[in-house]
Amino acid sequence: MYNLPDKIFIIRPNISVQSAESHISLGLKEGFIDLNLNCKIVDNIKNIIDGNFRTLIIDDLCNYKSNFDLKHAKFLSKKGIVIALWVHWPISEDSKFYEFHNELILNHLSTFQIIYGERELSSMKNFEKITNRKYITIPNASPPLPKNDFLIRDSDKNKNKFDLVFIGSKMNSKSFLFKKVLPLLRKKNRNLKIGLFGRGFNRRVRISNGIIKLSNKFIKPISLKLNFLINKNMQKLNQVISKERELLIYQNSKICINYHEDTPKHIIYNLRYFKIPYYGGFQLVDSPMKISPYFDQEEVIHIDSLDENYWVDKIIYYLDNPKERALVQKKGHKKAINCHSYKDRAERFLLLYSDLIKK
């Protein structure tokens, strides 16, 4: 039986902004709530002043921008509060806080009882040796299925059904997919119905996200009410796609394609990797590692190649073989439901917390 915390705080600034970090934090919060625990998201650790020793804080290295932030974390830690810190290593030399974050990791990790991240250990280099601290990989997971009951009209079915669909950000680090694979696929088969949704495909999302960040920085200190109204209106504009429609698209499309950032130092299985099969979709994805620790090739189709012709051939093969698609789809969905929900992820944190309390 767990030793459970009375309160859980997740530190995430700008939670209203559409981003992977926001989705991950909100999903984790829902996981704790599904376990009937008191969990809140706050935008700064300095907002936590009433925590007792039965409190768990889940924080992120990027939230620490000054010694003042670190000083408050040390104050809470001395009270017996457990703080889990998400870290990445090595620190990017392009980071504005390169020196400060290096100093924190090398000399101040004793403030944090749990050191974790979604990164696979192989991409953390000599972190454990240098810091003499254990790094714990806690992989991403899938948010729950939409709770609202909804009906799909016959006239809507066609708009939620694609031969190939991608829901995510259009990033330079994914240029292989957008500049090589998809153009070649369209060239070989111009009749395919391809759906692309996300930041980079929609200017509205970028603009509304920018307004939210500016309002949080400049309006919030002056007027909480006005900042709330701005955020509320911008959230309506910055939604890439509703949860209900995302579910329908994943379930009804033939191939749901996923592609990780093409950065070898950044080996993380993204949220979509777990969400697509959890929502019932057939996933075709690149391979961040040679062998996935989470799904095998009968549950998710991984492609370990940077040859666009190989990708296109695989896509066409599975478009032409619906029975094979259905079998993979079924097995992947079962594995995701049983092992990769945010409730499962929340339980990983609780086990770590409980072990610390016992000690």
Beta-bridge partners for 42: 11
Prediction pTM value: 0.85
Amino acid present at 73: A
pLDDT tens column, 99-148:
999 999 999 999 999 999 999 998 888 999 999 999 999 999 998 888 76
Q: Residue 197 carries which DSSP code?
A: E
Inform me whether the pLDDT recorded for 50 exceeds 80.
no
pLDDT tens column, 142-199:
988 887 655 555 556 678 899 999 998 888 888 899 999 999 999 999 899 999 887 7
Could you list the beta-strand ranges (E) of 26-179: 39-42, 55-60, 82-86, 114-117, 136-137, 164-167
Q: So what's the architecture of 7-141+341-358 in CATH?
A: 3-Layer(aba) Sandwich (3.40)
Share of the chain above pLDDT 90, in %: 64
Matching CATH topology for 7-141+341-358 and 154-199+240-339?
yes
Contact between 65 and 100 (Cβ < 8 Å): yes
Question: Scanning the structure block, which residue is given the tokens 């929502």?
Answer: 279
What's residue 307's pLDDT? 96
Give the C-alpha distances (Å, rounded to integers) separating 202 from 68, 178, 196.
Answer: 38, 15, 10
Average pLDDT over residues 6-24: 88
What's residue 210's pLDDT? 78
- CATH code: domain 154-199+240-339 is 3.40.50.2000
Question: Scanning the structure block, which residue is given the tokens 């499309």?
Answer: 253
What's residue 309's pLDDT? 97
Domain map of the chain by residue range? 7-141+341-358, 154-199+240-339, 203-239
Longest CA pairwise span in the chain (Å): 63
Average pLDDT over residues 205-209: 71
Q: How far apart are CA 264 and CA 123, in angstroms?
A: 8
What's residue 357's pLDDT? 86
